[in-house]
């Protein structure tokens, strides 16, 4: 009997970690990426070319049993075409919604999931009106192709409007109320092919310059009420989209409420701690879900932290010399703002975890791109 083969649109570090988990389940992988140096290429067959190349699409579809994707900017048309040939999970509709911030917010609103106040912006006049309606401070964002804080500007006063329009205007935009949040959290949910769901404990996330730097899981002082609220919101999205696989939703926690910021229809950076810190990792559970296998337990094993390695890499030996630290390198060339790897810390108590994080920060502080 030949092995089941998963096709993955995108061959970045998320694809690489999906393959590392999928291999233990006996799955094979074919990746499709426009970068010949895609980090997942070492762990499966890599087809290189643009995502709308019809020849690659034929070859890709013919060599796989089902498909998934590991980043959101895959053309929806490609995913839809592929879905006529093999099962594509999560469904292309999830991809479509997550590619456009306004559609994403509309879905949240339709499902009664609170979001920051916002307005659609197409013209300079829209921006002036929206600034009155939404109020300042606010964040002006491109609706498409924004990630890691790219394509967004914080507007503090009226005089900031002109410069922001000059910088971002001309493409569809969204103006969002700037939320003075208490903290940022994310929920990772997974739904299998039969509709059964599981949820990881909420994660507390710390960003700098729009890029995730540190995640703590379970989120400190996590109340059952907040966990239930996040699971309830995630359930609405999973069921509305008839979703299969892992879904991440990022929230602002503000005055005891959760306001949805955005969703990712894939495994997520804030879930990397699950490799060592949960009974079943997000990567394994995504593979289990889409391969039609039973889901594994999402329970946390103690207290974890995840530190992203951005821009430059530390000495491997120095990191591994820290007890409780686990290093993951993605095989990427260093470059400004590039996510090159991460470190997971696992500990029996949150105090012990925080101590190890402080030691690692000291080691990493020699890095140019400090945490």
Binding flag, residue 116, ligand AMP (CB under 6 A): yes
3-state secondary structure of 53: coil
Q: Which stretch binds ligand AMP (CB under 6 A): 30-38, 63-71, 172-180, 227-235?
A: 172-180
**Judged by CB under 6 A, how many residues of this single chain contact ligand AMP?**
13
Binding flag, residue 176, ligand AMP (CB under 6 A): yes
- Helix, strand, coil percentages, rounded to 5, for the chain: 35, 30, 40
Question: Among candidates 60, 54, 108, 59, which has minimal Cα distance to 88?
Answer: 60
User: Nearer to ligand AMP by C-beta: 261 or 344?
Assistant: 261
Member of 33, 96, 104, 184 binding ligand AMP (CB under 6 A): 184
Alpha-carbon distance of 41 to 54, in angstroms, equals 21
Q: How far is the CB of 198 from ligand AMP (least distance, A)?
A: 24
Binding flag, residue 178, ligand AMP (CB under 6 A): yes
The string over 146-173, giving b where at least 16 C-beta atoms fall within 10 Å of a residue's C-beta and e elsewhere, is beeeebbbebeeeebbeebbeebbeeeb
Member of 49, 75, 114, 149 binding ligand AMP (CB under 6 A): 149
Binding flag, residue 196, ligand AMP (CB under 6 A): no
- CA distances to 35, 52, 211, 224, 258 from 339, rounded to whole Å, are 16, 26, 9, 32, 27
Binding flag, residue 261, ligand AMP (CB under 6 A): yes
Q: Please, which residues bridge with residue 188 across strands?
A: 248
Binding flag, residue 70, ligand AMP (CB under 6 A): no
Binding flag, residue 59, ligand AMP (CB under 6 A): no
- CA distances to 136, 210, 348 from 180, rounded to whole Å, are 12, 15, 32
Q: Which stretch binds ligand AMP (CB under 6 A): 21-29, 127-135, 178-186, 287-295?
A: 178-186
90-109 positions binding ligand AMP, by CB under 6 A: none
Q: Report the DSSP pairing between strands 28-33 and 45-48.
A: parallel
Q: Which chain residues interact with ligand AMP by CB under 6 A? A: 116, 139, 146, 149, 176, 178-179, 184, 207, 210, 250, 261-262
């Amino acid at each position: 009997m030949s092995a089941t083969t998963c096709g993955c649109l995108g061959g970045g570090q998320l694809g690489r970690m999906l393959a590392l988990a999928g291999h233990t389940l006996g799955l094979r992988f074919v990746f499709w990426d426009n970068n010949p140096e895609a980090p997942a290429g070492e762990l499966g067959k890599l087809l290189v070319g643009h995502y709308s190349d019809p020849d690659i699409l034929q070859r890709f579809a013919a060599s796989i049993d089902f498909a998934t994707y590991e980043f959101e900017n895959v053309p929806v048309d490609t995913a839809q075409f592929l879905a006529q040939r093999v099962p594509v999970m999560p469904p292309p509709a999830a991809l479509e919604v997550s590619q456009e911030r306004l559609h994403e917010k509309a879905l949240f609103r339709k499902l009664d999931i609170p979001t920051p106040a916002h307005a659609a912006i197409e013209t300079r006049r829209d921006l002036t009106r929206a600034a009155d309606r939404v109020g300042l401070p606010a964040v002006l964002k491109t609706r498409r192709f924004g990630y890691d804080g790219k394509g967004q500007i914080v507007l503090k006063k009226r005089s900031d409007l002109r410069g922001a329009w000059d910088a971002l205007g001309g493409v569809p935009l969204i103006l969002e109320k700037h939320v003075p949040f208490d903290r940022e959290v994310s929920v990772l949910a997974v739904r299998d092919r039969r509709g059964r769901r599981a949820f990881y404990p909420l994660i507390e996330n710390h960003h700098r310059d729009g890029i995730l730097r540190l995640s703590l899981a379970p989120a400190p002082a996590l109340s059952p009420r907040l966990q239930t609220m996040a699971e309830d919101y995630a359930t609405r999205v999973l069921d509305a989209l008839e979703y299969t696989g892992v879904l991440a939703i990022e929230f602002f926690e503000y005055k005891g409420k959760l306001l949805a910021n955005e969703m990712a229809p894939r495994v997520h950076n804030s879930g990397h701690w699950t490799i060592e810190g949960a009974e079943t990792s997000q990567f394994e559970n995504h593979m289990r879900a889409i391969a039609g296998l039973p889901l594994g337990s999402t329970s946390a094993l103690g207290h974890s932290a995840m530190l992203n390695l951005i821009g430059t890499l530390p000495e491997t030996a120095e990191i591994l010399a820290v007890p409780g630290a686990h290093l993951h390198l993605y095989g990427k060339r260093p470059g400004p703002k590039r996510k090159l790897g991460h470190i997971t810390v696992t500990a029996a108590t949150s105090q012990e975890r925080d101590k190890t994080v402080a030691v690692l920060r000291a080691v990493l502080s020699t890095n140019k791109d400090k945490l």
